Amino acid sequence: MFIKVDHPEYRGIELVGESLLIHFMHGESRTLQEQVKDVAVSVQSQTLQIVAFLNQDYAWFYSGRKNLERERIELGQVYGGGGRLIADGIGNSHLFYFVQQSPGHSVMLRHQIYGDKWSNPMLVATNVFAQATGFSVVWNHDNYLHIAYCNHRDQHLLYRVFDLEHRIWSGAVPFSDQRCSYPQFIVGEKLYLFWQEDDKKIRLKVRSKDQQWNSPTQISSYEHHAASVGYSWQNDRWHVLWSEGSEFYQSSFDQWGERRLVERANYEYTWTVRDGIVIPLYEDKTSQPAPASVSLSELEPAPEPVPEQLPQPSKRDNEEAKAQAAFVEQAFRTLREWESLREEIRHWQGSFVPPTPVDLTPLTTRCDRLERRLFNLQQSQEQQKQVWESRFEQFQLELARTQRRLTVIEDCEKKRQVSLWRRVLGRS
């Protein structure tokens, strides 16, 4: 990923693998940091600012006009993606990034401010969609930070404002109740917010703010999916560009209904730092600088044009042209197949009817009734068992008493003297 910067000393910042490279204006490049997972770049009053994120709970902050100084930023938790560095134009820099949220797969969005030193992390929002393309932040002329982000559950678009004086974020305001992606702020004569909305087709929408936010306006058509959205600054005017199917369109800001076809090959897609944020820009490769004005006295008769012999295309050029045409055709075919697949999915979602749920209430009621009867029977059995055990113990006690009484009686009979008549009668 290469990020262009408008700076007298540096040409851009590039992340190659895990190596962070810095490119100078005279063509030299050098490695700034290794083991870098992500990078955020901004320019504040000709001071280049870079944040190199590692897979750690800290990051490295580089800043300077010519010689860059390094400083450690404590994040508090392990970096989770989404790094953005925003310059507010009044001397402060604002760092945004994700950290993991314990439940589920959503993340928390945090915010730190750099004036003379870095502030402690502040919480912007929880349950945020965990993609760097799911939010956008910008500093506007009204001296407020504006943020738009997608929530985790259904990717609805939400909007908040930050008051720098009181250092507090406002509550979330819903901007769209559809599945959204790629929000992007652009600062022009007004503040503009673009995003893509996924309905039956992926549509490109915009809202602008002068004193208040106006209603959403759809820029793209309903015929194809909008994709490859970018912006350009031409003739002192902002434009938005996007593709639909095999066509590439351009529309000037505030003239959304006047879109026109342009050649995609005439534009180069770049990431550029502008107005304190990184913006996806389309640069017109065909635009040439205007010729210097001269007086009529300096004009000389132009020589007669000499017919130029056009070079014949070589075999290698023909092969490259054929390969490029085949590649473009394959890309368009893949895009059409993808659109057809999305239509089939939409049709399946619309026609799918879930089966009628079975009413299990009678069965569960009978089960509850049987369970209660079994429980009552078990209790009565336990009670009968306790009664019989008690009676058996009493019977054993009575039997023991009877045996003792019989023993006493037998002993008494043995010790009793026999009368004379019994002895006489007993002999006879």
| Secondary structure string (H, E, C) spanning 302-346 | CCCCCCCCCCCCCHHHHHHHHHHHHHHHHHHHHHHHHHHHHHHHH
Q: How many CB atoms lie within 10 A of CB 87?
A: 21
Q: Are strands 2-4 and 260-261 parallel, antiparallel or unpaired?
A: unpaired
* Other beta carbons less than 10 A from residue 139's beta carbon: 24
pTM above 0.75, yes or no: no
Q: What is the per-residue pLDDT for 382? A: 86
pLDDT for the residue 56: 93
Torsion angle of C-alpha atoms 361, 367, 373, 377, degrees rounded to 10: -170
Instruction: Name the amino acid, one letter, at 103.
Output: P
pLDDT at 296: 37
Q: What angle do CA 172, 229, 126 make, to 5 degrees?
A: 25
Given this model, what pLDDT does residue 331 score?
A: 63
Mean pLDDT by 10 residues, the chain (428 residues): 91 93 91 94 92 94 92 93 91 94 83 92 93 93 93 93 92 94 93 92 93 93 89 92 92 91 91 90 75 40 44 56 64 65 70 73 84 86 88 90 88 74 70
CATH of 2-286, one of 3.90.730.10, 2.130.10.10, 3.40.50.740, 3.20.20.80: 2.130.10.10
Q: What is the pLDDT of residue 310?
A: 38
Residue 309 phi, psi (nearest 5): -80, 115
Residue 101 CB-half CA count within 13 A: 18
Phi, psi of 109 (to 5 degrees): -100, 125
Q: Residue 130 in contact with residue 106, Cβ under 8 Å?
A: yes
Neighbours of 111 (CB within 10 A): 22
pLDDT of 373: 87
What residue ranges do the domains of the chain occupy? 2-286, 367-427
How far is CA 211 from its chain centroid?
Answer: 30
According to the model, what pLDDT value does residue 252 have?
A: 94
H-helix or E-strand containing 367? helix 361-415
